[in-house]
Amino acid sequence: MRHGIQDYAETMMPPSNARYRQLSMQNPLHACTRSLVVKLNSMLTCLLYVVCQGAVTFADDGEPFEPPEYTIHRANSPIRIDGKLDEPVWEAAPEIRDFHFTWYKEGRKEPTVARMLWDDEYLYVAHVCEDAWITARCEEHDGPVAKDDCFEVMVAPNVDKPNVYFNIEWNVLGAWVDNHRPNGPKEPKAPKWDAEGVRIAGRYVGTLNDDSDTDKLWIAEVAIPFDNFSEVANHTPPEPGDQWNLNLNRHGGDTNLQYSQWSRADTDVPSFHTPHRFGRVTFSGEPPKQ
């Protein structure tokens, strides 16, 4: 089993000998792990405080459906993919907190906070997932990531072709699965498509794959090159004002299996492959207000 812990709020400080685990993966076939003690900046402290205090509001799935909208601001300074989220531009980026538990039956609704940014090369996704029992075993590319606690972005980069989409799904170890559906969700995926240049860094507070204790949360910071979408998108990188359809999804784990998503699907059984229900994002040429 793996252990990880981090100082994330003065009211929940770990013992002085606690170890913090950082896991990152820039090559899908190799996982690099490092142990270090990290002092959180004010942005991450505040973000995790919101999550851990249960201040996240859950959207009412009984309301009439309206696709959510989000403005992806342009990063005006370099972003280091290390899972720390300590750049000021991350602190300023708008949050996504309202994740729908579309197929909820029972158990704990664990909150998620996500943010996105972009620059000339990458779409950046960052998220903090409260999780009392973190599962993460897969360390290889295109392995069984979906059996772990995982997070996913689905991207339809051309609003005139809404059924043509891509999905990239990862766990806290930095392993990911990638797929391309060139003909919609009911048709086979593209057999030879792999996302290139994806960079992922994950961090967690707790013990992986040990449900005898209670974990706190896991974090991932992800950079996805726009070149992966160049055959479908009108512009790569996007131009200010460009709009894409997109969804963020979370699921998995051995215990308290839940499905949550930014824009809720309309299926009776769990399925994130509903591009007609994706949210809408607009790329802004301006950095977020700090």
Mean predicted confidence (pLDDT) in 162-189: 92
Mean pLDDT of the chain: 82
* Stretch among 2-6, 40-44, 167-171, 185-189 having the lowest mean pLDDT: 40-44
Which pLDDT score, from 0 to 100, does residue 267 have? 75
- Burial, 115: exposed, middle or buried (Cβ in 10 Å; 0-12, 13-18, 19+)? buried
Q: Is the pLDDT of residue 22 over 60?
A: no
CA distance 288 to 94: 8
Give 100's DSSP letter.
B
pLDDT in tens, 95-129: 999 999 987 788 899 999 999 999 999 999 999 99
CA distance 38 to 139: 23
Q: Is the pLDDT of residue 197 over 60?
A: yes
CA distance 88 to 241: 23
Per the model's pLDDT, the better-predicted residue between 49 and 251 turns out to be 251
Which pLDDT score, from 0 to 100, does residue 209 have? 98
Count the Cβ atoms, other than its own, within 10 Å of residue 185. Answer: 15
Which pLDDT score, from 0 to 100, does residue 44 have? 43
Taking the C-alpha atoms of 274, 279, 285 and 289 in order, what is their torsion angle to the nearest 10 degrees? -140
Q: Is the pLDDT of residue 55 over 90?
A: no
Each as own residue / partner, the long-range contacts of residues 160-167 (CB below 8 Å, 24 or more positions apart, any chain) are: 161/232, 162/245, 162/275, 162/276, 162/278, 163/275, 163/276, 164/232, 165/245, 165/275, 165/278, 166/193, 166/195, 166/228, 166/229, 166/232, 167/272, 167/273
DSSP 160-211: TSTT-EEEEEE-TTS-EEEEEETT-TTSPPPTT----S-EEEEEEEEEET-T
Q: Is the pLDDT of residue 16 over 60?
A: no
> 65 falls in which pLDDT band (50, 70, 90)?
confident
| % of the chain exceeding 70 in pLDDT | 78
pTM of the entire predicted model: 0.80
**And the tokens for 91?**
């602190």
- 2-58+67-283 CATH fold: Immunoglobulin-like (2.60.40)
Which pLDDT score, from 0 to 100, does residue 7 have? 33
Mean predicted confidence (pLDDT) in 177-194: 87
Residue spans per domain, the chain: 2-58+67-283
Nearest to 6 by CA among 51, 39, 30: 39
> 272 falls in which pLDDT band (50, 70, 90)?
low
| Residue partners of 278: CB distance under 8 A and separation at least 6 | 67, 154, 156, 162, 165, 245, 246, 247, 263
CA distance 97 to 86: 19
pLDDT in tens, 127-170: 999 999 999 999 999 999 999 999 999 999 999 999 999 999 99
